[in-house]
Structure 1
Amino acid sequence: MFLNNAWYVAAWGHEIGTDLQQVVVLGEKICMFRNAAGEVFALEDACPHRKLPLSKGRIKDGNVECGYHGLTFNCSGQCVWAPGGGDIPSNAKLRSYPVHEKYGLVWIWMGNAAIADTSDIFDIPNFGDPAWGINRGAAMQLNCNYLLMTDNLLDPTHVAWVHQGSFAQDATKDTPLRVSKTENGVIVHRWMMDVEPAPFYKKIIGFTGNCDRLQHYEVRYPSHALIRAIFTPAGTGGPNGALHEDTFIMDSYNFMTPTTESETRYYWFQLRNIRPDDEALSKLMSEDVQHAFEEDRAILNEVQIGMDNKTSPHIDLPIDGGQLRFRRQLLAMINEEKQVDAQMQG
């Protein structure tokens, strides 16, 4: 079950060129391409004649030509030529999806095109700020339902066992979590005071000794996340802390795009408030984060198998509060959307 009236990431911008290619989002096959001016378009990937994927065709004179009988469509999905002469059938058209490029990503609106608003795309205040460095990696394919990943990103506790060589420290095992619901998602967070920095961050932060550490895990509907890490010298953090001038902040942005019920495409990048032009640091962070995400992928792929084949009910723990709250609200939004659609069709 998916929320259709929402923006999802369809691809990194560099993944879409002037050749036709198929992208799958929410179980729908979509043909994506750029025109000669570099604009991105997304059409239903099935010719209305015999349903050959449009992506098996070609670009011809700025239009899209089906590879079977040559039906030709403009970038809005309207057929402009059909073989055999005579009038073009009125139902010779393709669904066109709203798309928008932002943050180096191609976003696609999967629901009612009339209400697509690009201002609803996830806001990233420091993107493009020369004072903030960035690192990123290729999109990852996960063999699990997207909600298992949103669960993971509302779960600061799992790092103590899954990421022992990178993000973990003793305090991540049992420091109490605070859960809050926002207008567009759920936040799980906690401050861990006067603790040794985790291995990954110890290589990066600009101070020595113990730290106060914030784990801020925020997932917004339908499946986008901000994971904020703050490390400040011990005694300067906490909810009312002044934060030291050497405070390190890393904002990790994570966008989960459901492809099918059991597969997810995962896009990510991090922004940091230190050494923005340090390419070696960006490379180090990208490689280490990629390694940590591979640890997540291995776990979640197995969790999907376990859930698919369980012979007894799974249980929930107090640490699952944020995940359960997110799932309940998202389900309510999906059901409301279905009711509205049914009323419009009725």
Structure 2
Amino acid sequence: MFLKNAWYVAASDHEIRRHLHSTRILGEDIVLYRTLDGGVAALEDACPHRKLPLSMGRLRDDAVECGYHGLVFDCSGSCVRAPGMAQPPARAVVRSYPVAERYGLVWIWMGDPGSADPADIMQVAHWGDPAWGVNRGDAMTVRCNYQYLTDNLLDPSHVSWVHQTSFGNAAMIGEPLKTQVNDDGVVVSRWMRNVEVAPFYAKFVKFSGPCDRKQHYEVRVPSHALIKAIFAPAGSGTDTEPFHPDVFLMDSYNFLTPVDESTTRYYWFQLRNFSPDDEAVSRQFAEDVRHAFGEDRAVLEAVHAGMARSPSKMNLPLDAGPLRFRQKLQALIAAEQAADVKSAQPHA
């Protein structure tokens, strides 16, 4: 169900302070906290003695004290104190997880710690570029399997029905889609020429009249998406520079963290090529995006429930991108699990 050797978002950076923060990722309970030097530690959230969540204990400098019998675990997961014992029990160990901070988010590596490389975290173009504005985004819990969300993030067609008052409009219906499979994921895209500007974007574009619009929907393994929007005056739309002077560019980054098989934590932010220091524009972006993503949530939670009751056996041509991504992800999961089984077998 899940790819373990991958980086996932564990929390927004402001959520992790000098207190014990409990969360659940890929079905595993984890406790996070900031160390005295400002770094972040992540441990299995269960004392090995009686399995009380360590998040119910307390911080002791950079270590966590279990709230039941006082066993103390350092950032590496080793027990460094067991009251009444000269040496902690050899089995008193909890798992620790590699963590990194990028883009205002705390990332966690869920697989083999020796394979964790922060350089593999998804790169964000224009982060820190003073010419681009940033809407720091938000997070929400969605009561559905994360693969319904990756399906949705590879489906430009749905916006014409789910987001009629925001991202979509009737001008988009029926426009063909192009699917491209890459080493790290799948891209579904299309250009729409000489069409009306959709309501969400009409507030911000610098030109009047019809537009050329590009939808670029990209999902990378394990479950991170980049949605690019290009709006240019009709007849001037292009994928590459030089763009029209009044072009509207928006990159929306979407990070999906499976809580378990039926719940997903959804983090996002957007970057734009205009109004870099305008807080009013950022607030408007945040409000409108939150509303649109709420529309997605209502639909996808109902889809999850409906598919759980009676799975569909039907696909449409627009499902090509989501299906290719599912196939790619499943192949990686199967290979990872096979490698785990092999490494666990005794050597002759």
Same fold (TM over 0.5): yes
**Residue correspondences, number:** 345
> Is 1:101 matched with 2:80?
no
Counterpart residue type for residue 222 of structure 2: P
User: Which TM-score applies when normalising by structure 2?
Assistant: 0.97
Counterpart residue type for residue 88 of structure 1: P
Q: Percent identity?
A: 58
Once the two structures are TM-superposed, the CA of residue 90 in structure 1 deviates from its matched residue by 1.2
User: Which secondary structure does the structure 1 equivalent of 2:290 belong to?
Assistant: helix
1:232 corresponds in structure 2 to 232
Report Cα offsets for 1:56-110 as digits up to 9, x if no partner.
Answer: 0001133210000000111111101102223211111110000000000000000
User: Which secondary structure does the structure 1 equivalent of 2:173 belong to?
Assistant: helix
Report Cα offsets for 1:16-69 as digits up to 9, x if no partner.
Answer: 111112111000000100012111000000001111000000011332100000
1:292 corresponds in structure 2 to 292
1:337 corresponds in structure 2 to 336
C-alpha contact 1:191 1:238 (8 A) present in aligned 2: no
2:67 corresponds in structure 1 to 67
C-alpha contact 1:236 1:242 (8 A) present in aligned 2: no
Once the two structures are TM-superposed, the CA of residue 136 in structure 1 deviates from its matched residue by 3.0
1:314 corresponds in structure 2 to 313
Report Cα offsets for 1:224-280 as digits up to 9, x if no partner.
Answer: 000000000110114589531110100000000000100000000000000101111
User: Which secondary structure does the structure 2 equivalent of 1:139 belong to?
Assistant: strand
Distance in 1, matches of 2:258 and 2:330, equals 15
Counterpart residue type for residue 183 of structure 1: D
Alignment of 1:149-164 (within 5 A): 149-164=149-164
1:218 corresponds in structure 2 to 218
1:177 corresponds in structure 2 to 177
Once the two structures are TM-superposed, the CA of residue 178 in structure 1 deviates from its matched residue by 0.2
Alignment of 1:1-346 (within 5 A): 1-238=1-238, 243-310=243-310, 313-346=312-345
Counterpart residue type for residue 121 of structure 1: I
Distance in 1, matches of 2:313 and 2:284, equals 38
User: Which secondary structure does the structure 2 equivalent of 1:174 belong to?
Assistant: coil
User: Which secondary structure does the structure 2 equivalent of 1:167 belong to?
Assistant: coil
Once the two structures are TM-superposed, the CA of residue 137 in structure 1 deviates from its matched residue by 3.1
C-alpha contact 1:210 1:233 (8 A) present in aligned 2: yes
Counterpart residue type for residue 336 of structure 1: A
Counterpart residue type for residue 42 of structure 1: A
Deviation larger for 17-26 or 263-272: 17-26
Counterpart residue type for residue 321 of structure 2: G
Deviation larger for 103-112 or 75-84: 75-84
User: Which secondary structure does the structure 1 equivalent of 2:334 belong to?
Assistant: helix
Once the two structures are TM-superposed, the CA of residue 128 in structure 1 deviates from its matched residue by 1.1
Counterpart residue type for residue 170 of structure 2: D
Counterpart residue type for residue 56 of structure 1: M
User: Which secondary structure does the structure 2 equivalent of 1:137 belong to?
Assistant: strand
Distance in 2, matches of 1:88 and 1:284, equals 55
C-alpha contact 2:138 2:269 (8 A) present in aligned 1: no
Distance in 2, matches of 1:149 and 1:240, equals 29
User: Which secondary structure does the structure 1 equivalent of 2:296 belong to?
Assistant: helix
Counterpart residue type for residue 35 of structure 1: T
User: Which secondary structure does the structure 2 equivalent of 1:303 belong to?
Assistant: helix
Unaligned runs of 5+ in 1: none
